[in-house]
Structure formats: C-alpha cells, structure tokens
Amino acid sequence: MPARLHLVRHGQTEWSRTGRHTGRTDIPLTEEGRRTAVLLGERLASPVWQGLPDVEVRTSPLRRAAETAELAGFGDRAKPWDALLEWDYGDYEGLTPAQLQELRPGFQIWRDGVPGGESLAELTARADEVVAWARSAERDVLVFAHGHVLRTLGARWLGLDPAFAAALRLDPASLSVLGWAYGQPAVERWNDTGHLG
C-alpha cells in the first residue's frame, strides 16, 4: 500500500488565538496549546492508532511545531525540515484578517500574495517537495507544521491548484490524513479535532 501523509497543525499560540498571521515569528504554545498537544498524543497512542510506531516524522523547525511534536510523544523521532516552515508573510506578519481588509479591501492571501514575503509559487514548491518525499517513502509519514503550509500540502497532494487551499480549514492541534482511494490521491481525514472533546 502506498505511503500516507499524516498532518498535524501545531497547538494554539497567542497569535493563532487572536487570528494574527504567524509566519516566521517563533512564538511558543499557550498553556491551552500545550494541553491540546498532549491530548493529540494520547489519541495517537490509543489502540486505534497504536502510537504510529513505523511512521517517519518531520517537523517545522519553529518552536510551536516542534513543541507540539514533543508533547504529542514524537519529539525523539522528529527531524526538523525547513520545507515545513510556515508561509513567510513578509510585510503582513502579525496582522489579523480584519487589519488586512482595512489595508487592502477584498484581500485574499491565496490570490493576492504578500509583499516582502514568500510568493505563492515558492510556498507551492516547498509543498511539492514534501509531497514528493511522502510519496516516495516506504512507510507512512507524519509532519508537524502550520496552517497555511499544511493547507497547501492538502491541495498539492490532490494535484490541485494551490489556491484550492483557501477552502481547506485547519484548526490548531488538528489531525489530517492524506492517502489513496482507487489508486488516486485522496483525503482520508481532514481537520479532525475529535481528541479535543
């Protein structure tokens, strides 16, 4: 069976709680973010998931993703990988969607991009690198990363334009699984937060 790609968005940070675009600013998890990372780990350690004993694990090098991996019980197996860094929001780093709408009415990041940051083409190239790695793996893989880069991974796994990621919501500490159906790339699970109860 071809390898599947498991995705975990990092737990809550103060900026994710308030809706601020958090690209390369390296901020820690909140207490709630740490709590939900532990809950995710408990779920993955359950008999259903069996701790995912054979997965290869990679994480964004940013603290919020690496800490989520650690608290979920995968820190000793996780290798940092720059391809999993969040979108570099450039001049829009730290701004909320409301602030961006004031600055640029009708703004849509997947269409309009970010000045002084990373282009959508650059983000897509990184996502494609992760997809190629996951598909070439001999076993399932698990990545801990960030909302926009993971949403882009979802779109690219399916072979869709990266702008499709606008339709893929991801909550903090969520679990998603990208796999296969009838030999074609498929979404097996998306934005699953059942462990947060």
The binding site for substrate consists of: 22-23, 64
d(CA 96, CA 18): 8
Contact call for residues 57 and 69 (beta carbons, < 8 A)? yes
Selecting among 56, 67, 86, 118, the annotated active-site residue is: 86
Contact call for residues 123 and 84 (beta carbons, < 8 A)? no
Contact call for residues 125 and 154 (beta carbons, < 8 A)? no
> 147 — phi, psi (to 5°)?
-55, -55
Q: Is 86 a catalytic residue?
A: yes
Q: Is 6 a catalytic residue?
A: no
Contact call for residues 8 and 40 (beta carbons, < 8 A)? yes
Q: What angle do CA 151, 155, 157 make, to 5 degrees?
A: 110
d(CA 102, CA 126): 30
Contact call for residues 186 and 180 (beta carbons, < 8 A)? yes
Q: What is the DSSP string of 99-131?
A: HHHHHSTT--HHHH--TTS--HHHHHHHHHHHH
Annotated active-site positions, please? 10, 86
